[in-house]
């Protein structure tokens, strides 16, 4: 194992809360999109292990079709 494998470069990027285990993950997977009643909807995210268990549902790209 090389030093690069032991100490990978972690870039600052997108972080989200996992809806199942309530931890912050940098590898967030969009699993649900909840439409808002009086504004934009919101996307729910999960960490990779829980994303597999929860399954994926409609995301904004699936629901909102731009002509």
Cα gap 34→57, rounded to integer Å: 10
Query: Does residue 6 register a pLDDT over 70?
Result: yes
Query: What pLDDT does 26 receive?
Result: 86
Query: Does residue 56 register a pLDDT over 80?
Result: no
Cα gap 52→9, rounded to integer Å: 26
Q: Quickly tell me which residue has 């990978």 as its tokens.
A: 8
Query: What pLDDT does 4 receive?
Result: 74
pLDDT tens digits, residue range 14-49?
889 999 999 998 888 888 888 888 888 888 899 988
Return the number of other C-beta atoms located less than 10 Å from residue 18's C-beta.
22
Higher pLDDT, 64 or 19: 19
Query: What pLDDT does 18 receive?
Result: 92
Q: Residue 9 corresponds to which tokens in the numbers above?
A: 């470069």
DSSP 20: T
């Amino acid at each position: 194992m090389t030093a690069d494998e032991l100490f990978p470069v972690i870039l600052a990027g997108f972080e989200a809360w996992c809806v199942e285990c309530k931890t912050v993950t940098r590898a967030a997977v969009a699993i649900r999109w909840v439409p808002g009643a009086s504004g934009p909807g919101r996307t729910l995210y999960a960490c990779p292990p829980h994303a597999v268990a929860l399954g994926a549902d409609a995301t904004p790209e699936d629901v909102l079709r731009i002509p």
